[in-house]
């Protein structure tokens, strides 16, 4: 479970539901798209995809970046929600 904050500064809990065989490592940052509810997580570790996207219910959508970053710190969404 990850605790997030919405635009009204209310704390929300997000239970992450990964696919079989996936594990969530140390999450260093997250970014949430307020329009779609998609949350991007960036985690540290060399054995897992370092960027994970989940929907507003916490269901796994996609991931990428295995060993792409040495020590990732933050993730942000641009004005195009990328």
pLDDT at 32 over 80: yes
Q: What is the pTM of this model?
A: 0.73
Q: What is the pLDDT of residue 61?
A: 92
Q: Give the model confidence (pLDDT) of 14-25 as tens digits.
A: 788 888 888 788
pLDDT at 35 over 80: yes
Mean pLDDT in residue range 23-41: 85
35-38 contacts, C-beta under 8 A, 24 or more apart: 35/81, 36/81
What is the Cα gyration radius of the chain? 12
């Amino acid at each position: 479970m990850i605790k997030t904050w919405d635009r009204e500064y209310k704390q929300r809990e997000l239970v992450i539901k990964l696919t079989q065989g996936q594990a969530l490592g140390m999450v260093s940052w997250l970014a949430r798209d307020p329009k779609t509810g998609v949350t991007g997580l960036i985690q540290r570790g060399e054995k897992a995809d370092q960027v994970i996207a989940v929907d507003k219910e916490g269901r796994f959508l996609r991931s990428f970046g295995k060993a792409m970053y040495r020590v990732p710190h933050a993730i942000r969404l641009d004005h195009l929600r990328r």
